[in-house]
């Protein structure tokens, strides 16, 4: 399926479809079972560049990615359990004997020095473990009714066959602004775009899944996640943000492309193009 939106904003990469399925797509990229990897590396570095990637309950790369894709509460298997994760995301695990022992073991593993440092001293993204507990309590953690979650260029998805959950665009500021305006084109009386705090994959995954169930689903802006930005920057550039539209929102936005501001002078000025004559 091709996207009018992608053409209108001059998208340099592919819109990415997230799909639930019980069969793995052929020739798809996939992490090795139980090995670490960043979900955003395959979404931004593979699917946005024309390839297909797939994840399952043994190949989601990292604990946050397992949660983000919808493979249940993967934080329970984090070193030190959920308690260990709450300290990891906040002020660190060095304050407990168990935490210090786990961190020291991490540091001795191949390539584990950086993870050990974050585990022991904390990423400091949230103030303290209770704040992380509140964050986790608000996340729509779920176990999706599918064996696989795949990401592929929208142009290779079949809207009649595939269980498409959402479409994600990786865009710079002008194009992001255009997508926000387009999302409000039909129903400006409602809040049509959100910008939540969460991991990059969680915004594209479970938070967008939740939006699909609402009476008025919203598109979500993402990549405020500093760790995800570190992964995506060398792949797509330093100014890129994500914009994820749940499938019904995407279809509505597609219908709004013809006859909207893309044919007027303001958008043409931002893109240095000559607008078509009315």
Checking 6-12 for CB contacts under 8 A at 24+ apart, the result is 6/154, 6/169, 8/178, 8/257, 8/262, 9/169, 9/171, 9/175, 9/178, 9/179, 10/175, 10/271, 11/169, 11/171, 11/175
**Is the pLDDT reported for residue 218 higher than 70?**
yes
Q: What pLDDT sits at residue 278?
A: 52
CA 137 to chain centre: 19
**Is the pLDDT reported for residue 275 higher than 60?**
no
Average pLDDT rounded to a whole number, residues 156-178: 96
**Is the pLDDT reported for residue 90 higher than 60?**
yes
Average pLDDT rounded to a whole number, residues 198-220: 97
Q: What pLDDT sits at residue 111?
A: 82
**Is the pLDDT reported for residue 128 higher than 60?**
yes
Q: What pLDDT sits at residue 276?
A: 54
Place of tokens 């919808």: 70
Least Cα distance to 151 among 36, 13, 10, 248 occurs for 13
Average pLDDT, the chain: 95
Average pLDDT rounded to a whole number, residues 44-59: 97
Structure confidence at residue 232 as a pLDDT band (50, 70, 90): very high
Average pLDDT rounded to a whole number, residues 129-138: 98
**CB-based contacts of 144: which residues, under 8 Å, 6+ apart?**
20, 69, 70, 71, 209
More confident residue, 132 or 276: 132
**Is the pLDDT reported for residue 58 higher than 80?**
yes
Average pLDDT rounded to a whole number, residues 40-64: 96
Structure confidence at residue 167 as a pLDDT band (50, 70, 90): very high
Average pLDDT rounded to a whole number, residues 14-32: 96
Task: Tell me the percentage of the chain whose pLDDT exceeds 70.
Answer: 98
Q: What pLDDT sits at residue 34?
A: 87
C-alpha to C-alpha distance for 59 and 160, rounded to whole angstroms = 27
Q: What pLDDT sits at residue 21?
A: 97
Q: What pLDDT sits at residue 274?
A: 58
pLDDT tens digit string along 244-259?
A: 999 999 999 999 999 9
Structure confidence at residue 33 as a pLDDT band (50, 70, 90): very high
Query: What residue segments make up the domains of the chain, in order of their start?
Result: 4-66+143-263, 73-138
CB–CB of 3/254 below 8 Å? yes
């Amino acid at each position: 399926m091709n996207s009018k939106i992608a053409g209108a904003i001059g998208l340099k990469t592919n819109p990415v479809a997230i799909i639930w399925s019980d069969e793995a797509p052929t020739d798809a990229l996939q992490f090795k079972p139980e090995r670490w990897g960043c979900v955003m590396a395959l979404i931004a570095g593979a699917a946005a560049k024309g390839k297909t990637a797939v994840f399952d309950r043994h190949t989601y790369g990292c604990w946050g990615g397992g949660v983000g894709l919808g493979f249940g509460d993967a934080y329970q298997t984090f070193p030190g359990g959920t308690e260990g994760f709450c300290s990891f995301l906040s002020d660190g695990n060095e304050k407990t004997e168990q935490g210090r022992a786990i961190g020291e073991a991490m540091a001795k593993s191949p390539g584990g020095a950086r993870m050990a440092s974050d585990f022991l001293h904390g990423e400091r993204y949230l103030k303290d473990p209770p704040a992380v507990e509140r964050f986790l309590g608000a996340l729509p953690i779920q176990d999706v009714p599918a064996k696989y979650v795949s990401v592929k260029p929208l142009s290779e998805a079949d809207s009649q066959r595939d269980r498409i959950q959402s479409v994600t665009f990786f865009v710079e500021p002008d194009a992001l602004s255009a997508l926000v305006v387009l999302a409000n084109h039909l129903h400006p009386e409602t809040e049509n775009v959100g910008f939540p705090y969460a991991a990059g994959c969680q915004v594209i995954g479970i938070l967008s899944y939740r939006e699909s169930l609402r009476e008025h689903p919203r598109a979500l802006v993402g990549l405020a996640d500093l760790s995800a930005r570190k992964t995506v920057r060398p792949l797509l550039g330093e100014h890129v943000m994500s914009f994820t539209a749940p499938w019904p929102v995407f279809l509505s936005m597609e219908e709004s492309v013809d006859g909207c501001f893309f044919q007027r002078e303001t958008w043409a000025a931002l893109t240095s193009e000559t607008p078509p004559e009315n």
